[in-house]
Every structure is written in C-alpha cells, then in structure tokens.
Structure 1
Amino acid sequence: MIEMKRVESATLDAMIEQVFAEQDISHFGNIVEENKEKIAIGAYLDKKLVGGIVADKEYQTIHVSLLAITQGARGLSIGSKLLREIEIIAKEKGIIHITLTTRSYQAVDFYKKNGYTVFAELEDMPIEGVTKYYFDKRLK
C-alpha cells in the first residue's frame, strides 16, 4: 500500500538528488559531479558589501539564482558589472546559456539592457498581479 506523508525537506532533497544524479549518469556518463559548481561574487563599495550574485553552473549552463544591490548603491552599474563577471566565468568554462528569472516589479528592463532575452513569462506568479519573467543569454 502506498502512503503519503509530509517529511523533512532535507530528507526528501537528498533522495530526489540521488534519483536525478542516477538519471544524469545514465544519460551523460560520469561527468555529473565534476560539472556542478556554485558561484558567488560580492560587490564591495568602500570595503562594505553592497551587492552580489549567486549562480549555479551545471554542465554547459549557468543559472543566476540571486542578484541584488543595496538601495544606497543602486545606479552605480554594480549589477551590470556582476553580470559581466558571471559572463567572463561562463565563457572561460565553455557555457552556452545563462538563465535567470525576475518579477515584474524588479529588474525586467535591467536584464534586457544587459542582453538577456525573455523566453517565457507567467502571469500571477507568485501572486496575482505579478508576472515572473524567464531570461536567457546564449553565449555560443
């Protein structure tokens, strides 16, 4: 009999990651673990951390999961510089795509200005009246 239960996220995460790793190894061979990397770059202004970018590299893709600049440091092109740093790393690693998401009240025009293209959008996500945008920048 199949039973459904709520479980701790960490327990389930580990099991699901194992399933995906097995699928990847079956499909790609033993290149799985060596092709995953977390990238984090901080931006400092007068020795104070004022922004940063966090991304995950997997195979030939980098997904930017976080990019933010403190209110007082906006307008100094820090966000664009952080994106350029990720793109330099991406080119060195043979990355084909950089992907990211943003919400309609955040940085849609900023990403377009930096060469990213919207490939999908979801209205009313994560709440009614907000649109979530999915961006891609193809490097090759």
Structure 2
Amino acid sequence: MDYEIVRSEAATEDDMRAIVVPLIAHNEQSAPPLNSENLALLIRDAEGKTIGGLWGRFGYDWLFVDYLAVPMELRGTGIGTKLLQQAEQLAIERHCVGLWLDTFSFQARPFYERLGYQVFGELEDYPRGHSRYFLQKRFR
C-alpha cells in the first residue's frame, strides 16, 4: 500500500471525518457508544443577554465541563458555585460517575478544590511558566 503524510493547513470537514469515523468504530468495539449530549447553564442579564455560564457535555457516564465563565462583576457572589452545583445535580440525576474539568494555574484551581474537586493530572509549562490541571469530583 502506497501512502504519504501530507501537512495541511486547509484540512476540511471531510478530512476530519476520515480520521474520526474509523477511530469511533474502533472505540465502539471496546466501549459503549459515547452518546454525547451538551449541557448549557446560562447567566442572563436583565435584558436576557447571555453574559456567562457553564458549557459541558455528558459522555461515558461522566459530565465534562468545557467552560465555566462568570462575569467579573458577579465573581464572589456564589453564582459560580451555584452553576457547578446545578451541573453536579444534573449529572447525579443521570447516574453519572462524576464530573471532570480542567483549569490553568492562573485560573480557578483553588475554587474547584474548595468545592471538593481533586487534581488527577497536571501538564506543566502549558503555557510556559504555568500548568494546566485536570480535576474530578466523583459521586459514587
């Protein structure tokens, strides 16, 4: 079989699918389907404009939080805690094992640890001089 490795800065959706489809097929031979579903908990202002919130996705009996953003003027009011607690409750109702997320050393690691999250991984120098932390909170 002849092949070549080609670097592309203009890869298409079809190129991505050519990589992902066989990977998913391989994974499904060993694990159940991912059955990914998004979760959005939105903070809206008085005009109904979304100004922050939590974005995550369910998969493999876990909830992963992609983003948690609280506007500067609302930090320290408890709204971040309420967002996470609501996400945790939804994950528990779906019988999830737990919730996981990541944060940087210059972001909110102490906040998550106060809420019972534990570090299970660290990527040093990402970005240089900082670390990226991976945290989890198991429900069972």
Q: State TM-score, norm by structure 2.
A: 0.87
Unaligned runs of 5+ in 1: none
Change (3 A) 1:26 1:41: same
Q: Which residue of 1 aligns with 2:58?
A: 57
**Residue 16 (str. 1) matches residue 19 (str. 2):** yes
Change (3 A) 1:92 1:82: same
Provide the aligned C-alpha RMSD in A: 1.7
Does the CA-based 8 Å contact 1:51-1:78 persist in structure 2? Answer: no
How high is the sequence identity, in percent, across the aligned residues?
A: 30
Change (3 A) 1:15 1:2: same
Q: State TM-score, norm by structure 1.
A: 0.87
Unaligned runs of 5+ in 2: none
Does the CA-based 8 Å contact 1:61-1:96 persist in structure 2? Answer: yes
**CA offset digits 1:37-82 (Å, max 9, x no partner):** 1111102343443321111111211111111111111111111111
* Matched pairs, number: 136
Per the TM alignment, residue 99 of structure 1 is displaced from its structure 2 partner at its CA by 0.9
Output the CA distance in 2 between the equivalents of 1:92 and 1:116: 19
Change (3 A) 1:42 1:78: same
Shift >3 Å, 4+ stretches = 45-48
